[in-house]
Amino acid sequence: MSKYFKLEELLRSDTALRCKIENLPSWEVVEHLGQLAEFLDGLREAWGGPITVNSGFRSTDLNKQVKGVQRSAHKLGYAADLVPKNGNMEKFKKFVVEWVKDKKFDQCILEKSGKTEWVHISLYNQDGEQRGEVFKLKV
């Protein structure tokens, strides 16, 4: 798919496996995932270390199961939830916020649920917009 990211990791979902949900994208979504992977390659290069994709593409059924928003960019193949492999989440969050400043993207959301944190990056929203939004969200 790209230098650092494989299609399988952008499709993998523990929830889909556990709930036996088929999480297969259309060819159009695979193209979107390719664009996303190339964007994430730039982040990976700049970060200088491996990044784990916790959630990439989500089928409609999977998105419902994880209680994702109905208009989620994950369903389009334009979003990924990320954590650094080295575990330094605080440094990673600050780095990503700084890195996206001069990039075209839709949203960079610093998300937290309980003790779990991740960075959500989306390239486009359902309307094809790149709003360049950066914010924090507790779910």
In tens, the pLDDT along 13-45 reads 999 999 999 999 999 999 999 999 999 999 999
Per-chain mean pLDDT for the chain: 97
In the chain, what percentage of residues exceed pLDDT 90? Answer: 99
- What whole-number distance in Å separates Cα of residue 4 and Cα of residue 14? 21
- As a whole number of Å, the CA-based R_g of the chain is 14
Q: What percent of the chain has pLDDT over 70?
A: 100
Q: Which residues pair with 135 in a beta bridge?
A: 109
Alpha carbons 128 and 79: distance in angstroms, whole number: 13
Cα separation, 53 vs 47, whole angstroms: 14
Helices 89-100 and 27-47 meet at what angle, rounded to 10? 110
